[in-house]
């Protein structure tokens, strides 16, 4: 059902001291919403708990700064410590990442699924198995290719330059209705054009009886003899108990393994973490491009996808430009902001081999990671290719994500910067983390089996990004949801 703008389609419930249900779904994002809908449609009594708040559409018109604090964990940045460190951003709100993301939704590339079989020994996930799930997801979220006539000059410049170099460019496939170019994707689409799960899956789940309880953080699971016996949460500082027959955990790539570790359900959860690396570029052009008139991006450069590199524009607002240039001098930042109409913000996304590990000594997890030399080569390749592309697109100055470097004005200067690159000075960010509780063919290789069931536990399943066996290179929401659908299909057919 499509809800008109300004109507809040979700009702929220307050938890009582003890909540009983058939199924407790922890987390309301990409993965959790699939569990909520599929279980509710199957007639189960479902409660969805979500740590973050529920914000109806009209609130997404507020200031970017305060929305970022409300909708993201830790105000927007969770560090993955290392040398260099990586700044991770993830949602903490109803709808999870789908509320604040770009809505890009691709089908899992066939060669990635082939790797899941060949390298990870998984037998269930093939293109044929996932295809009907993608058809459902695409229908419910209104996924389509976006090509805008108005605005999005940054995407158009990049795509034209790539095509002139003979590089492959594809129209972005997004969960999108009638995009109004408000350029507010990262803080919740105020028009409802972006079809988050809060406007779709969770609404349907509620229509079939599911109860949604935002502002509840599940702090621990209790268990006995391989069975989860309850979950303890905090709501407004008060303790609440949940008692369910079965539990679906979908708290995202960091919090899912953290909860398993803190609750001593599975100490090896979070021993692996995979993520993409985003390199952000600010580019100045000699004439106005008005990159703020548009959406996140409309076309993506995919020439180097097999080498793990995608290039595209990004939501361009003064806040994001200033944050990207935080390693530049105040005068330089001011001069760029004064010239804002001529400025664009661009991203090179790298499929890193870097490995992370999640530690849970406190209530807040600590993530450590290290970037191997093969990733530094990929990063160098990405910096060079994106630099070349932006100059081809007409950029007169490019600021690279490297501390201590001023902007470059030619390919020669770019090469000089790359030749003297010090890895510790890289400014790395990521918004795609996964594989921290990977599916595996045996308990010694992962946290869950191919059906999402936590090894050696009879009533606990995981259905979020943490179950993906490896880094998939592309934006992960589609794959997360398709795998969750298959986990739920198998589950509902057996229970
Ligand atoms: C800015 C940004 C842009 C992105 N753009 C894209 C894009 O365009 N396309 C794409 O495919 N991907 C994109 N992503 C990534 C994508 O959104 C995530 O990979 C995806 O949402 C992860 O799904 P998930 O179900 O694992 O976790 P989430 O969707 O993050 O959901 C987990 C939910 O669990 C809640 N939670 C956590 N711990 C607890 C707890 N203890 N108790 C209760 N609730 C808890 C969280 O608050 C959160 O709402 C983007 C991400 C960001 C941050």
pLDDT along the chain (495 residues), means of 10: 59 96 98 98 98 96 97 96 97 98 95 95 96 98 84 96 98 93 96 96 98 98 98 97 98 98 97 98 98 95 94 97 96 97 98 96 97 96 98 98 96 97 97 98 96 97 98 94 98 97
Instruction: Verify whether ligand 1 is closer than 6 Å to residue 475 (CB atom).
Output: yes
Supply the pLDDT for residue 5: 46
User: Which residue lies with its CA nearest to atom 24 of ligand 1?
Assistant: 252
Dihedral of the alpha carbons of 440, 445, 446, 451, in degrees to the nearest 10: 20
User: Which residue lies with its CA nearest to atom 17 of ligand 1?
Assistant: 97
Beta-ladder partners of 61: none
Supply the pLDDT for residue 9: 85
Instruction: Verify whether ligand 1 is closer than 6 Å to residue 432 (CB atom).
Output: yes
Beta-sheet strands, E only, within 225-317 = 227-235, 238-249, 274-285, 299-301, 309-313
Q: Which atom of ligand 1 is nearest to the CA of 103?
A: 8
**What are the C-alpha distances in Å from 27 to residues 140, 281, 324, 370, 471?**
20, 33, 30, 28, 21
User: In the structure encoding, which two tokens stand for residue 455, read together?
Assistant: 């090894």
Supply the pLDDT for residue 216: 98
User: In the structure encoding, which two tokens stand for residue 339, read together?
Assistant: 């010239």
Residue 464 near residue 250 (C-beta atoms within 8 A): yes
How far away, in angstroms, is 212 Cα from ligand 1 center? 17
Which among 299, 294, 300 is positioned nearest to 147, based on CA atoms?
299
How far away, in angstroms, is 91 Cα from ligand 1 center? 5
pTM, rounded to two decimals: 0.97
Largest Cα span, the chain: 68
User: In the structure encoding, which two tokens stand for residue 31, read together?
Assistant: 């993965």
**What are the C-alpha distances in Å from 153 to residues 71, 105, 146, 393?**
28, 22, 14, 11
Instruction: Verify whether ligand 1 is closer than 6 Å to residue 96 (CB atom).
Output: yes
Task: Report the C-alpha gap between 372 and 432 in whole angstroms.
Answer: 18
Spacing of C-alpha 265 from chain mean position:
25
Instruction: Verify whether ligand 1 is closer than 6 Å to residue 141 (CB atom).
Output: no
Instruction: Verify whether ligand 1 is closer than 6 Å to residue 438 (CB atom).
Output: no
Supply the pLDDT for residue 150: 84
Supply the pLDDT for residue 7: 58
């Amino acid at each position: 059902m499509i809800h008109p703008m300004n109507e809040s389609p979700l009702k929220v419930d307050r938890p009582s001291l003890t909540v009983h249900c058939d199924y407790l779904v922890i987390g309301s994002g990409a993965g959790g919403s699939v569990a909520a809908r599929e279980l509710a449609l199957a007639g189960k009594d479902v409660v969805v708990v979500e740590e973050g708040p529920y914000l109806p559409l009209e609130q997404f018109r507020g200031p970017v700064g305060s929305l970022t604090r409300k909708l993201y964990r830790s105000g927007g940045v969770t560090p993955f410590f290392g040398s260099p460190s990586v700044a991770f951003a993830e949602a903490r709100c109803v709808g999870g990442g789908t509320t604040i993301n770009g809505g890009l939704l691709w089908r899992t590339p066939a060669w990635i699924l082939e790797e899941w079989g060949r390298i990870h020994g998984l037998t269930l996930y093939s293109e044929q198995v996932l295809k009907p799930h993608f058809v459902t997801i695409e229908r419910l979220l209104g996924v389509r290719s976006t090509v805008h006539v108005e605005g999005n000059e940054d995407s158009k410049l990049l795509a034209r330059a790539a095509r002139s170099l003979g590089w492959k460019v594809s129209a972005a496939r997004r969960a999108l209705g009638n995009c109004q170019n408000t350029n507010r994707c990262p803080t919740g689409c105020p028009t409802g054009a972006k079809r988050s799960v809060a406007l779709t899956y969770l609404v349907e789940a509620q229509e079939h009886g599911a109860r949604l309880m935002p502002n509840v953080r599940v702090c621990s699971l209790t268990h006995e003899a391989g069975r989860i016996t309850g979950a303890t949460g905090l709501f407004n500082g008060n303790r609440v108990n949940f008692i369910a027959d079965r539990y679906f955990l979908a708290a995202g790539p960091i919090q899912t393994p953290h909860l398993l570790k803190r609750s001593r359900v599975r100490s090896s959860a979070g021993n692996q973490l995979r993520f993409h690396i985003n390199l952000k570029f600010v580019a100045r052009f000699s004439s106005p491009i008005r990159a703020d008139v548009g959406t996140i991006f409309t076309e993506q450069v995919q020439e180097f996808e097999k080498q793990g590199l995608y290039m595209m524009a990004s939501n361009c607002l003064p806040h994001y430009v200033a944050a990207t240039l935080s390693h530049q001098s105040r005068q330089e930042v001011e001069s760029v902001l004064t010239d804002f109409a001529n400025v664009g913000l661009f991203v090179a996304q790298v499929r890193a081999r870097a490995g992370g590990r999640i530690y849970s000594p406190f209530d807040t997890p600590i993530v450590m990671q290290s970037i191997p030399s093969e990733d530094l080569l990929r990063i160098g390749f990405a910096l060079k290719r994106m630099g070349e592309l932006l100059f081809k697109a007409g950029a007169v100055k490019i600021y690279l994500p490297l501390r201590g470097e001023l902007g470059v004005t030619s390919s020669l200067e770019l090469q000089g910067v790359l030749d003297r690159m010090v890895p510790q000075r890289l400014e790395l960010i990521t918004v795609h983390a996964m594989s921290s509780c990977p599916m595996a063919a045996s308990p010694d290789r992962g946290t869950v089996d191919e059906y999402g069931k936590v090894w050696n536990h009879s009533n606990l399943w995981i259905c979020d990004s943490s179950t993906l066996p490896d880094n998939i290179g592309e934006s992960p929401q589609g794959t997360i949801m398709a795998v969750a659908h298959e986990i739920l299909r198998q589950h509902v057919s057996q229970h």
